[in-house]
Amino acid sequence: MIAPVAGQAMMLVMMIIERRWMFVGLIVPGLIGCLASALANIAMRRRARSNAQTDAGGVSSGGALPGGVAGASSDERDTEAARQCAAIHMELEELLDIDAGDVPSAWKGMARQWERARSAQDKGDRRTITSLHTVPVGVTPTGVFSINMPKQGPHALVAGTTGSGKSVLLESWCLSLASRFPPSMLNFVFLDFKGGSAFRVLHRLPHTVGFVSDLDLKHAVRALRSMELELKRREMIVSRAHVADVNELRHPPARIVVVIDEFHALKRQLPDYLTQLTALAALGRSLGMHLIACTQNPLGQVSSEMKANIGLNICLRVRDPLQSSELLGSKAAALISPQAPGTAFAYGGEEREAFRCAVPASSEVLTRGGQWACRFLGEQAPPPLFSPPLPQRLEAPAMNDVTEAPDAPMIIGVADTGVTLEPFCLPLDLGNIAIIGSGPRGKTTALMAMARALLPRHGVEVMLTRKTADGYVTEHPSTGTIIGDATRYATGLAEESADPTGQKPRTPNADSSPKRIWLVDDADELLDPLGRGPDHDEFHNALADPHRVVVFTLSASRHLRFPDHCGIRLVFPTGDRAIDMMAGIPSQALSQFDGDDVRIPGRAVLLVQGSATPVQCHDCDPIW
């Protein structure tokens, strides 16, 4: 501030000497302002120096800073705290008070803690349950370092460079939680975008309801979709109970901890599905769902919406001080020695705390101990939150003598809801069924799967019609009788459906009238509107008869009129978007199919009542 004041003063003197009084009037206010600013700056510096001396005196009299360095800077204190933590080593089992020398000892210790948690939940003892959520993860120079996710989180962001100990920290944290709570109170979902190596042991915990890796991105997508559905399910539970939090429920659902290793890889490979994680971060606190995201570089990886709901930041050693500042507001983590893996700083918004994560002596023993404790206490394994994608091949079950109702749906494979796999049930009460697909995609095999599902039923008459060099041949698969052509079969149906006197048709639901299902393979010629002949006419008559169900295969859909000819379509995608959409597959369903899917025999889309569901049909031997 001296230079501006001196400059203003020199100009003032020159103007006075030259008697330019107007300029003197302009310079004087500026000079006064510079003098005032300089005096204020000098006063602030003196006050700061006085406060620093007072603080130094207070520390020396009241207690030393971490490391015993009086008056040390923040970086020096953090470095000393990290150095002290690096000198400490303690096994996780010691913190958990579990003897993990062998599996029998481990499961007994875990069973005791699980029983305590179950008892507190049965009694509605919220105070005890809240205290149980405080689980030991590591040690500090003065004691045990613990984390309470519902209180400190509800979500956490963990950062650290390669070799800093991120995977060990995640493993210790999850094992500590699993040792405290049974599967009925706590579940895990593991998303490993490091090839599946990070959770190679943890995913065998009985608490695990989902485990995926970046080796199968379709499986990972199902995991993210399942979280969205689980959030909605819990919202419905809370809404119906008229409470604001799952903790207020008498029997709350198990808490779910979603653990993601290499979050930056997930963001890079599945950017369109981050909205599910953002919703989890926003709604998870009240719905009992928590997120632990782990990454090597936190800079720019987490959106502001997610960051606003992450209450706990843990930073192990990083290379760039900016990365440390992103999580801790300090470059403390960049000062951690590479020779001290597992040393970290935790920051929850108030103050940083250095700790060294406890390393489990045997993760395998603790995991197997959890499995044994689960069986001893009668804990039911939680159902998976999501299932793997559709299999590439699905063997047909053996034909049995189980009697089903004539109108019961046919199970001919598995259907994919986008999250779970369910039996592929093809209804028989919604009209005719068209199976469309070009080339050897599995149309005839699907028709055979339907025949296998129908033959054991009582009250069902199944006829099969196939195309030969001599025309269409119809046969009865249960007896082996060859009727000859489609005309004779259709004529027989018409005669049997009428009264013996020929005056009125027989009631289709009468006990004496079986349900007639006609399976026709390669029906393109029969469906051609320009076709001629008795087979063509009888086929169209059967399609229009509400008392019969015709299931037919086509190589193309150009002659098919929906819904006149059928109420259900089973379409095998060709890979040509225009052809597939013309067959009825919506664009959203087509986006789920890639080049590999369209080459899998039996992979199709079921179109019924406005919905499109990917399915995999049974692979079975031909009946004829």
Output the known binding site.
Answer: 160-167
Residue carrying structure tokens 């400190």:
152
Distance of CA 255 to the CA centre of its chain: 15
Q: Rg of the chain over CA atoms, in angstroms?
A: 37
CA distances from 88 to 144, 173, 351, 525 (A): 11, 18, 21, 82
3-state secondary structure 119-144: HHHHHCCHHHHHHHCEEEEEEECCEE
For residues 160-174, one letter each, b for 16 or more C-beta atoms within 10 angstroms of the residue's C-beta and e for the rest, the string is: bbeebbbbbbbbbbb
Distance of CA 431 to the CA centre of its chain: 37
Which residues contribute to the annotated binding site for ATP?
160-167
Answer whether 211's CB lies under 8 Å from 387's CB. Answer: no
CA distances from 182 to 25, 110, 370 (A): 83, 9, 8
CA distances from 588 to 132, 151, 391, 611 (A): 45, 41, 21, 11
Record the tokens describing residue 582, joined without a space. 């013309």
Alpha helices, DSSP H, located in 181-251: 217-240
Record the tokens describing residue 27, joined without a space. 């310079």
Peptide bond into 141 cis (omega under 30): no
Nearest to 111 by CA among 378, 358, 384: 378
Residue carrying structure tokens 């709901």:
309
